[in-house]
Structure 1
Amino acid sequence: MREFTYVRAAEVGQAVATVSADPEACYLAGGTTQLDLMKDGVLEPGRLVDITRLPLRGVRLDGDTLRVGALTTMEELAADPYVSARAPFVREALLLGASVQLRNMATIGGNLLQRTRCRYFRDPTVPDCNKRRRGTGCAAVTGAARMHAILGASEHCIASHASDLAVPLVALDAIVRVRGSAGERTIPLTDFYLLPEATPDVEHMLGQGELITAVDVPLPPEGTRSGYLKVRDRMSYEFALTSAAVTLLLDGGLIREARVALGGVGTVPWRAREAEEILRGAPAGPAAFREAAERAVRDPFTMPGTAFKVELAKRTLTRALRTVAGVAS
């Protein structure tokens, strides 16, 4: 691990000014991913600015929106009564996303910014990784790939996004609140993540020194059903092969409103808007669910190791819709 300078920030403005002025500086919160990458030599910051004591923690309800402080832990958000009552699929994603020990350390802001689990990105001895160094190639395209993306992927990068939490938050149109040297701004989470295209090393819209301060989570209308289904190789402490976050507002046997997002298959948390269009106004049943699944996984970019994910993703979404709607298979 490279030697670095450690600074503990006393207030938000100080933290932002310090990191904004130093291209080799970055923030440190829970550190559950960041420190591993530093030990592996993938990340080599010259300065760490500890933000854990900043007043950016807590959850409060403002109308029908939850304001979640960026330093709120995963466990704290999972325990929030409004999340349990109005958006249980957010709680499900949090509980399935990490062990209880990690949930008590990892922050919401850090979870949204966690780096991919691509084995080639995380191994600095592999030279071909556009996400680590642009223009070097993508070893996953020609190597063994199983945990990789099929949506939003290209020959430049097939690394999948790792966050479980981001999947239901994308479905809910969450808003990220950011503070930087130029002031504050808000970014819809659906716009926050950037497709790799020719610049896989640029993963999100944050500039140097910009700090996530909170996430606004609009709660679905009363009566909305939701669910998060995660398919993985083992039941404990494993990342998703595929996942689906679904909300349905039913009116008799018809679907009045639907929201759908996929995880484990996208280079970013994948909002399936075409699937939502199919579901709105349709009878809640297998035919609509399967058609929605077909629309959700259109034009996949597959390799021999990831081709199985096309059908698995469709079945995952179909099952999630059936479960949430209470429709027998």
Structure 2
Amino acid sequence: MREFAYERAARVRDALTAVAGDPGARFLGGGTNLVDLMKSGVEEPTRLVDVRRLPLDGVEVTPDGGVVLGATTTNSDAAAHPEVRHRFPAVTQAVLAGASGQLRNMATVGGNLLQRTRCGYFADLSRACNKRDPGSGCAAFDGIHHNHAVLGHSPHCVATHPSDLAVALAAFDAVVHYETLDGAGELPLSRFYLPVGDRPDRETALPPGALITAVALPGSAAGLRSRYRKVRERASYAFATVSVAAALDVRDGVVRDVRIALGGVASHPWRAASAEAVLRGNRPTAEHFRACAEEALSAAEPLRDNGYKVPLARNLIEAVLAELTGTENR
């Protein structure tokens, strides 16, 4: 590990000033991802600005019935908060599926959204990776990619995003709030992550030097029946092979609202908006669930060795929707 400067910020503006003009500076939250990348040489920051003691933690209920998660709130505190559990149960389920208790106690909400991919080629400095070294190529495209993307990828990068929490947040139309030296801003999670394109190293739409301050879940999604289900290669804590966050509102025998987001299949949480349109306004039947799942994967372009993810994701969507309507055993 190379030498770097370290400072602890007492105010948000102090943190923003500390990284301004220094492209090698990084904000440090729980460090559960960044420190690992520093140890492997993938990240070599010139300066770490510790933001854990900024007044950005806690969970608040908004007047419209939504919830705001402070950026430095630990994953454990976010998952355990009674209002999160009551209003957005899939968020709690996603956090609990994501990591061990020790990691949840350290990792922060803001840092969770900014996790880097766990692609083995990204972490291996001897192999080509456009996300780590732009223009070097993508060794995974023709290499070991059984757990890589089937949606939204490009020849420049086929890695997947590792966050479980972000998948649930995507299903609920979360909004990311941030601060810069020029003032505050916000980004819907649907626009927070950038498409892979030919520059996979550019991962988010955050302005340079911006600090995430909170993530807001709108009241329009509060109280919906929701579930987060994750398939992984081992029963202990592992990154998703495929995951589904879904929420459903059925009234008078008709689906009034449905939200579906997928994890483990793309470079960012994948909101299946066209699949939702197939189900919305119809009866919650097995046939409609199947049509919805088919539409969700209609744009899939599996690689040589990960085609199994397509039927796996379809089946998982159907299973979660059936669970939400209590029809899984019928």
Q: Would you call these one fold, judging by a TM-score over 0.5?
A: yes
Match of 2:114 in 1: 113
Specify every segment of 5 or more residues in structure 2 that has no aligned partner in the other structure, as ranges: none
Match of 1:328 in 2: 328
Aligned-partner Cα distance in 2 for 1:96–1:281: 31
Give matches, 1:168-207, under 5 Å: 168-207=168-207
State the Cα deviation string for residues 70-93 of structure 1 (Å, max 9, x = none): 000000011111111111111000
Note if 1:67 corresponds to 2:59. Answer: no
Aligned residue pairs: how many? 328
1:59 partner letter: V
CA-CA distance at 1:221 after TM superposition: 5.4
SS state at 1:121 partner = helix
1:3 partner letter: E
Change (3 A) 1:142 1:131: same
> Scaled by the length of structure 2, what TM-score is found?
0.97
- Asked if the contact 1:114/1:162 (under 8 Å) is kept, the reply is yes
1:58 partner letter: G
1:119 partner letter: G
Aligned-partner Cα distance in 2 for 1:274–1:312: 19
Change (3 A) 1:222 1:125: closer
Aligned-partner Cα distance in 2 for 1:20–1:317: 44
Note if 1:167 corresponds to 2:167. Answer: yes
Aligned-partner Cα distance in 2 for 1:88–1:299: 29
Change (3 A) 1:107 1:14: same
CA-CA distance at 1:2 after TM superposition: 1.4
Note if 1:287 corresponds to 2:287. Answer: yes
Change (3 A) 1:222 1:157: closer
Note if 1:86 corresponds to 2:82. Answer: no
Identity %: 49
Aligned-partner Cα distance in 2 for 1:232–1:103: 18
2:157 partner letter: C
Note if 1:57 corresponds to 2:18. Answer: no
State the Cα deviation string for residues 274-293 of structure 1 (Å, max 9, x = none): 11101111111111111111
State the Cα deviation string for residues 92-147 of structure 1 (Å, max 9, x = none): 00100110110000000000111111000011121x11101111110000101122
- Asked if the contact 1:224/1:250 (under 8 Å) is kept, the reply is no
- Asked if the contact 1:20/1:210 (under 8 Å) is kept, the reply is no
- Asked if the contact 2:244/2:317 (under 8 Å) is kept, the reply is yes
Match of 1:316 in 2: 316
- Asked if the contact 1:86/1:220 (under 8 Å) is kept, the reply is no
2:79 partner letter: A
Note if 1:32 corresponds to 2:2. Answer: no
Which runs of at least 4 in structure 1 moved beyond 4 Å after TM superposition?
220-223
Aligned-partner Cα distance in 1 for 2:73–2:223: 27
